[in-house]
Amino acid sequence: MLKKHKKQKGIALVVAMLFVMVFSAFSVAMFSMSSGNSLVAANLHKVNAARSSAESGLEVVRYYLAQAEIPGMMPQNQWFEELQTQLLESGGILPSGIHADFVTDDDGEVTMVTIGASSPVTLDSNQSFTAEVWDSGDRINIRVAGNASGIERKIQGSFIYGEKPEPYSVFDFGVATKGPLSLSGNILLDGVNVSVESDVYIESLNYNDALSIIGNSQIAGDVKIVNEDGYVTLQGGKAGIGGETGVDAINNHVEIGAPQTHFPIPNTSYFEHYATGITIDSTTNIGSLGSLDNVRIAAGTNPTFNANMQINGVLFIESPNIVNFRGSADITGVIVGDGDYTDNSGTNTITFRGNVSSSSVAELPESFGDLRNETGTFMMAPGFAVSMGGNFDTLNGAIAANGVEFFGNAGGIIGGSVLNYSDEPMELSGNSDLFFNRTGNTEIPVGFEPVLNIVISYDPSDYEEII
């Protein structure tokens, strides 16, 4: 006979309670894990936001440093000092909302510029940055601290100095003048090989009447005028530019508001050491002189050469001086006046009233030594007003002066560019036909030092996060 077992009551409740406890434990664990993950995610978000703030700060500083421009003639050991000035001065490269301070050493020399140190630069309500900028000779270093909700991250990098690229060189033109240009009479500016050799560059920043062509005068090349308010005046049926006349000449061959380029610095001392011959002064009998071989004219002599003169090597003219050549001049060499290229007074003058013939220094005898290699420059006379009134066959090299005038029947071939450093009008008058032969001139003529301003650019290869 089978026995019947009694059912055990409450087992389902026990099992249910076990499941509830297990799932409760799982829930607590999941909640704890989820809370931890949320906290980790929140912290990671803050860290990333802080790093993002630092990187944003780097980009902000990079943007403003790119606007700094250091004069090209400034010695390298003064570059960072100039950058400090541009960062710290009111109205400098930094906007009014970003404040810069400086840190000095015991000698009072500025060693570091801080940006936002006294008042962090705000990016938004929770993010900001500060930056430290210092010099290490050949580059500028930067350390940026980004902050987000109390979390800070730092990055560092560097910037390098480099020359600001120029849109073109003044030696890309037949005539380059800081002042306006005036052609009157029967003037022709043309190229020996192609018309672009006679292109003209005019700054004329102080005169809106930048180019005036009157009569039958013409410029075969094109014209660039820097002054945005500059204009061209054409008077006469044949007055033209680029082979056209009237409105077509101006519309098709003149650029108003052209990019400005720098005139190179004429370094007269480059040639001075070649002037080893006699020194002409007030006691010299000018009429007794034969050829002038590497001659120096002392300041204040003011000589007038009435006879035909042979000039070999360097003719070095000290300032102040008024030098006149009334007869013809046969020149195998370089004429140098040691004035100031910022002097537009016209106090110093060099005038040729007779015909001029010219040969390259390369044709000098071997006794002139290294001077025979110093090609490309015919006349370097900063601070002198130069006038030429006679014919010439070829002038072998560039002409640079503070005031350049061709008048009368002056004309011929110029084997380089004419540079006028004066901001006063440059005048060509009479029957002065000038033909420019610049083909093959790929280098800056000797004695001229290019002035390329220094700019600052970021070096991405030097990026580093500071842990």
Q: How many domains does the chain have?
A: 2
In a domain, 38, yes or no: no
In a domain, 13, yes or no: no
| pLDDT for residue 138 | 83
How, if at all, do strands 231-235 and 209-215 pair? parallel
Q: What is the pTM of this model?
A: 0.74
In a domain, 37, yes or no: no
| pLDDT for residue 432 | 80
For 98, the token pair is 């970003």
* Same domain flag for 279 and 408: yes
| pLDDT for residue 247 | 94
* Same domain flag for 133 and 217: no
Using an 8 Å Cβ cutoff, are 334 and 397 in contact?
A: yes
In a domain, 374, yes or no: yes
In a domain, 408, yes or no: yes
* Same domain flag for 135 and 214: no
Backbone angles phi, psi at 253, to 5 degrees: -135, 10
Rg (CA), the chain: 37
* Same domain flag for 152 and 174: no
| pLDDT for residue 107 | 76
* Same domain flag for 84 and 101: yes
**Which of 350, 329, 355, 326 shows the shortest CA–CA distance to 339?**
350
- 61/116 Cα distance (integer angstroms): 11
Which residue positions in the chain have pLDDT lower than 70?
1-10, 23, 25-43, 442
For 467, the token pair is 């842990």
Using an 8 Å Cβ cutoff, are 310 and 292 in contact?
A: yes
- 420/347 Cα distance (integer angstroms): 16
In a domain, 22, yes or no: no
| pLDDT for residue 39 | 60
| pLDDT for residue 76 | 86
* Same domain flag for 153 and 188: no
| pLDDT for residue 6 | 54
In a domain, 15, yes or no: no
Backbone angles phi, psi at 128, to 5 degrees: -155, 175
| pLDDT for residue 42 | 60
Using an 8 Å Cβ cutoff, are 395 and 356 in contact?
A: yes
* Same domain flag for 274 and 317: yes
For 124, the token pair is 């938004």
| pLDDT for residue 7 | 56
| pLDDT for residue 36 | 55
* Same domain flag for 363 and 390: yes
Q: Residue 63: how many CA atoms within 13 Å on its side-chain side?
A: 9
| pLDDT for residue 344 | 93
- 419/261 Cα distance (integer angstroms): 13
Using an 8 Å Cβ cutoff, are 352 and 374 in contact?
A: no
* Same domain flag for 264 and 343: yes
* Same domain flag for 213 and 335: yes
* Same domain flag for 213 and 72: no
DSSP tag of 164: P
Centroid of chain to Cα 288: 48
For 151, the token pair is 């979390």
What is the domain extent for residue 156?
Answer: 48-165+454-466
* Same domain flag for 187 and 260: yes
Instruction: Show Cβ contacts of residue 400 under 8 Å, excluding neighbours closer than 6 positions.
Output: 266, 377, 379, 380, 381, 382, 418, 419, 421, 448
Centroid of chain to Cα 198: 23
- What is the H or E stretch that residue 152 is in? strand 151-163
In a domain, 95, yes or no: yes
Backbone angles phi, psi at 425, to 5 degrees: -60, 140
DSSP 165-191: PPS--GGGSSEEESS-EEEEES-EEEE
